[in-house]
Structure 1
Amino acid sequence: MNTATYPNLGTIGSEYRNAGQPAVIDLWDPEHPREVDYPTFHASCDAIARGLTARGIRPQERIGILCSNRLEFLEIFFGAMRAGIIPVPIGILMPKATVEWIVRDANIRLVFCDGALRGNLPADAPCIDIDADGQRHYEAVKDPGPFEPFVPGHDDVAFQPYTSGSTGRPKGALLSHRAHSWVARSISTDRGFNPKDRMIVAAPLYHKHAMNSIKCVLVGGSAVILMRKFEPRAYIEAVNKHRATVLSGVPTIFAMLLQQRDLIGGHDYDFVRLCTMGGAPASDVLIDSVAATFPRAEIVTIYGTTETSAALFGPHPQRKPRPRHSVGWPVAGNEFRLVGEDGDGDFGTLYVKGPGMMNGYYNNPTEMARRYKDGWFDTGDVLRRDSEGWYYFVGRSDDMFVCSGNNIYPGEVELMLERHDDIDQAIVVPVPDEIKHRIPYAFIVKRAGSALGEAEVKKYALENAPPYQYPRRVIFVDALPLNGVGKIDRKALEARALAISESRDAVGA
């Protein structure tokens, strides 16, 4: 029997608990930011741990967090884990029926929520409305004083996020103290977080990207500049006002920032040392533009999944330069397979073994059996490996579609289109076709003032890619829709493309 003990994830950053520097700068109300130092933050987490324990909630039982980005989210999240209680972050944009299903599925004992979101909970769910009576109900949960943290074993669960549910209902991932204490320290060390850093976080905290950022900040004794939600102009203002040294987001976020040319220009951004991009491939044009705007920043492409962690790829062990677009070199302890049509090779769906793996899916053995095979987890993401051993993200296997017998990975076509000088952003989606099975349509955001037309885009594509990849229809838009975690809402664009296709067919008929 394994009786080893492991660090409690809720206590990360405790070595700074007596340091005077800020831990959180909360921009819930940007005109009245709340700045909390490390001693105050850790005392609040201890008070939450004591309060939940006093309410009779036991280790490995669950509480829910249905909150926007705010200081209280972090106090609850890390405080619960200190007591061995499992926080379940719930997406604030999920429909009421999905929220209710998660509360039931996870057998949640108590939910903390924004006042505006309380109506999405089951009527019989015990709830602490954080905004009620000027936060008096929330503060009453806290029991100030020292707290001896729960000591986890090998498989004790730290927190339980739910995946997006793109193929059905969301799936609860069981993430252990052991795995994610290792993940947090691995990422923070690789990216050089230190007490001088200030990282701006605008992605929702219920998503892995933002929560990984928070853990890196705490491990490094850094400060997080926490925005309620992403809004490009407010983001730029916060970067300048609070001197953010680390920026992170999907490529779309950076593209939207750079489109605010009147606001982002004219500033000296020498204080920005690191920009990380993940979730989708980034074009050379975008990377060059980010590098020109933040001239002293290292620009790093990152990759990770909820189930396998973000500590999969990092710098080369001998610090060899990372090639542009590479997600990095395998982090020690991880094993990878790329499974393609001809078996294992240098291109295909990524399968992973590693120390950051989840324990499994909660109450979902069927999905676990489908994705976890002989000790290997199927990420559903397509990557390639170059001759030296560097890895590159290509796209989601679910996004791939077949046109005239040829596999099209939208990310590859988008990168090609975004190399055009007059294209800021491009998204390619499939539309059904009686002859070719699926054909690509492209949604394009033009550079401001451009007179670019559909014929020119098609001509450019035919000159720079295989003919089956060129978009059969080009739709120009002012902006691309985002989903709840700041990624492009491909499903919304697919629906719009289908409606356009059917409309054209009807006219043709």
Structure 2
Amino acid sequence: MDNKPWLNQYPEEIPATLTYEEKPVHSYLTEAARLYSNKMAIHFMGKELTFQEIYESALKFANYLKKLGVEKGDRVAIMLPNGPQSVIGYFGVLYAGAIVVQTNPLYTERELEYQMDDSGAKVILTLDILFPRVSKVMKNTQIEHIIVTAIKDYLPFPKNLIYPFIQKKQTGLTVNVSHEGNHHLLKKILTETEAVPLNIDFDFENDLALLQYTGGTTGFPKGVMLTHKNLIANATMCDAWLYKAKKGEEIVLGLLPFFHVYGMTAVLLLSIMQGYKMVLLPKFDAETTLKTIEKQRPTLFPGAPTIYIGLLNHPDIQKYDLSSINSCISGSAALPVEVQQKFEKVTGGKLVEGYGLSESSPVTHANFVWEEKRVKGSIGVPWPDTDAAIFSMEDGTPLPYGEIGELAVKGPQVMKGYWNRPEETDQVLKNGWLYTGDLGYMDENGYFYIVDRKKDMIIAGGYNIYPREIEEVLYEHPDIQEAVVAGVPDPYRGETVKAYIVLKENATVTKEELNTFTRKYLAAYKVPRIYEFRKELPKTAVGKILRRSLIDEERKKHG
């Protein structure tokens, strides 16, 4: 296993090992502002900003954070959809020497409170429509200040005047926040604060840039500690893999959310590092995306299978010119071969599958983009400076070609560990290897294949969903005796959430009632789509519910 057969597959343009600049992540924005001062860095719903404007705004934000008492190593949360504010906030936090905590805007109060409490974030940057939710959890966390922005703040005229009415119609909310006390307005901050560079010493190897929350079936989400080195290494690898991409010239479609580690690396960091223009969309809508591609002509389109499927299923896709797209690396879930083939036919570009996880910043493997060395069903080969092996589940020894075991990876993109969880860190980091929890095998050419998950995590539409979290909510319902949640095959989302329920004696509850109940406590993508009521659930001799046997039943049903 130590001869790395995948290196024989590498084209001459991709080196087996790379050089990583030993500097903090935010230094790339400083450099981009110097090299591409007046070049457009962001296009957002008709509004454009230059690299210089983003740089100055990020510095202003950093200075304001310092004024609020944020010190090196403090955590600052960003709870935003993709937009100029999410870029400014991200780099502003880093300029201030703090650690970014990316937070999903779909989180309920319960989920948000858990993450804020666990991370110890002192400040949060969020949207006006999310302000009421954040305010409610503030008292139970260490959050001292809420900084508020609005979508309309970065819209061109007349969209900025019209948008509040659209927002009210969609959400039913009109939120007015004053710039006083511990509530702050980003717009006012950027108007009144100076863009003064801050001199803060950074340790490239050890200083954290990001807490990226992930989880498992054994507990609640964990904060993955990613250093400046981890993030720079993975973005540098991404650039090496896309060797035909031209520095300062590409246009990246930023549809993957930045609170997802893949969007953060493959869109945000890669674009700033290479001087690419980002075309940002705050959410996925097939028609809006097709119109945006035709008008803005993006060349790189990192995505997830759900996004590509959503576009291909649009009835009018043939009416749009998508020929600008050169390359796409699909992550977050398995990419169906027919989706890959159809998408390449429609765009004329290349779409390949990659693999990664939050703990590796995230990418470890991918298929080659421009070479005809793609293998059906494979996640591809390890990236430069990345080692990978398959270990036996029984005795932990390396397995030969073709044998199924646990995939482990090693490289400069692998996390420092889990935030405040040394025991759980030790369970997955062993002798320099990160044990992924995914079962797979390697063929004799060095291509890797994932066959199953050791963990019971569900990946639906690119989102990681953890059954235990949903089960704990279901168990709070007074009529439920037993509940277990599993991922079942879904043609659109890849997997979807199914709940198996045993009701208490003489209890009656409908699927609709359970749907209403769970939506109070869970983000929409976590809510079960299917409910099945049973008299009993399969169990082990000691009474543990056998989730795996339910999953096997579903697989037999779906062939």
TM-score (norm 1): 0.74
The answer on whether the counterparts of 1:12 and 1:181 sit within 8 Å (CA) in structure 2 is no
Check the 8 A contact 2:217/2:456 in 1, yes or no: no
CA distance in 2, matches of 1:63, 1:440: 33
- Displacement of 1:289 in angstroms is 0.5
Instruction: Letter of the 1:265 partner, please give it.
Output: Q
SS at match of 1:35: strand
Shift in Å, 1:334: 2.2
Root-mean-square deviation over aligned CA pairs: 3.4
- Give the direction of change, closer, same or farther, for the CA distance of 1:320–1:329 in structure 2 (3 Å limit): farther
Match of residue 15 from structure 1: 31
Pair 1:209-2:262 in alignment = yes
5+ residue gaps in structure 1?
28-32, 401-408, 412-428, 430-437, 446-482, 503-509
How far apart are residue 228 of structure 1 and its match? 0.9
Q: 1:363 aligns with which of 392, 416, 420?
A: 420
Q: Choose the corresponding residue for 1:334, options 365, 380, 386.
A: 386
CA distance in 2, matches of 1:440, 1:163: 17
Q: Report the secondary structure of 2:439's partner residue.
A: strand
Q: CA deviation at 1:107?
A: 1.7
Give SS of 2:406's match: strand
Instruction: Report whether the alignment pairs 1:130 with 2:149.
Output: yes
Paired residue total: 418
105 and 253 in structure 1: CA distance in 2 versus 1, 3 angstrom threshold: same
Distance 1:384 1:138, change over 3 A: same
For residue 88 of structure 1, report the CA deviation from its aligned partner.
0.8
Q: Indicate whether 1:223 and 2:277 are aligned.
A: yes
The aligned residue for residue 505 of structure 1 is none
On the 8 A contact 1:280/1:395 being kept in 2, the answer is no
Identity of aligned residues (%): 22
Q: Of the candidates 281, 295, 302, which is equivalent to residue 241 of structure 1?
A: 295
- Decide whether the 8 Å contact of 1:100 with 1:120 is kept in 2: no
- Secondary structure, counterpart of 1:129 in structure 2: strand
Whether the aligned pair in 1 keeps the contact of 2:79 and 2:105 (CA below 8 Å) is yes
In the aligned structure 2, how far is the partner of 1:44 from the partner of 1:161?
Answer: 24
User: What's the secondary structure of 1:303's corresponding residue?
Assistant: strand
Q: Structure 1 residues 119-128 or 352-361, which shifts more? A: 119-128
Alignment correspondent of 1:373: 430
1:283 matched to which residue of 2? 336
Q: Residues 189-211 of structure 1, C-alpha deviation per residue, up to 9 Å, x if partnerless?
A: 32244322111122322111211
Judged with a 3 Å threshold, the aligned counterparts in structure 2 of structure 1 residues 489 and 119 are, in CA distance, closer, same or farther, namely: closer
Contact 2:355 2:366 in 1 (8 A): no
Report the equivalent of 1:252. 306
- From 41, 52, 56, the equivalent of 2:65 is 52
- CA distance in structure 1 between the aligned counterparts of 2:488 and 2:112, rounded to whole angstroms: 34
Corresponding residue SS for 2:441: strand
Q: State the shift of 1:399 in Å.
A: 4.5
Query: Is the Cα contact below 8 Å between 1:91 and 1:206 reproduced in 2?
Result: yes
Q: Give 1:507's aligned residue.
A: none
Question: How many angstroms apart in 2 are the aligned matches of 1:159 and 1:38?
Answer: 22
Partner of 1:323: 375
Matched, 1:120 2:133: yes
Superposition pairs for residues 144-183 of structure 1, below 5 Å? Answer: 144-153=194-203, 154-164=205-215, 166-183=217-234
1:453-492 mapped onto 2 (5 Å cutoff): 492=528
1:52–1:141: 8 Å Cα contact kept in structure 2? no
Equivalence for 1:302: 354
Over 3 Å counting, the alpha-carbon distance change for 1:110 and 1:277 in structure 2 is same
Moved over 6 A (4+): 315-320, 438-441
Task: Tell me if the contact between 1:197 and 1:246 (Cα under 8 Å) persists in the aligned partners.
Answer: yes
- Measured after TM superposition, the shift of residue 13 of structure 1 is 4.2
| Residue 116 of structure 2 corresponds to residue 103 of structure 1 | yes
For 2:250, the aligned partner's letter is: D
Pairs within 5 Å for 1:411-490: 443=490
- Contact 1:251 1:277 survives alignment (8 Å): yes
Partner of 2:448: 391
Q: Per chain length, whose mean CA-contact separation is higher, i.e. which structure has more relative contact order (CA < 8 Å, sep 6+)?
A: 2
Contact 1:10 1:80 in 2 (8 A): no
1:24 is aligned to 42
Q: Which residue, 64, 67, 89 being the options, matches 1:76?
A: 89
Q: 1:281 and 1:488, CA in 2 relative to 1: closer, same or farther beyond 3 A?
A: farther
Q: Distance in 1 between matches of 2:29 and 2:48?
A: 17
Residue 140 of structure 1 is aligned with which of 185, 188, 197?
Answer: 188
Q: Aligned letter for 1:207?
A: H
SS of residue paired to 2:253: strand
- Please name the residue that 2:474 is paired with: none
Judge conservation of contact 2:293–2:322 (CA < 8 Å) in 1.
no
User: Would you say the 8 A contact 2:126–2:146 is kept in 1?
Assistant: yes
Aligned counterparts of 1:260 and 1:134: Cα–Cα separation in 2:
42
Query: For 1:91-124, what per-residue CA distance to the aligned partner results, in whole angstroms no more than 9, with x for missing partners?
Result: 2222212211222222211111111112222243
What code does the residue aligned with 2:328 have?
Answer: C
1:312 partner letter:
T
The equivalent of 1:61 in structure 2 is 74
Amino acid paired to 1:7: K
Which residue type is aligned with residue 117 of structure 1? L
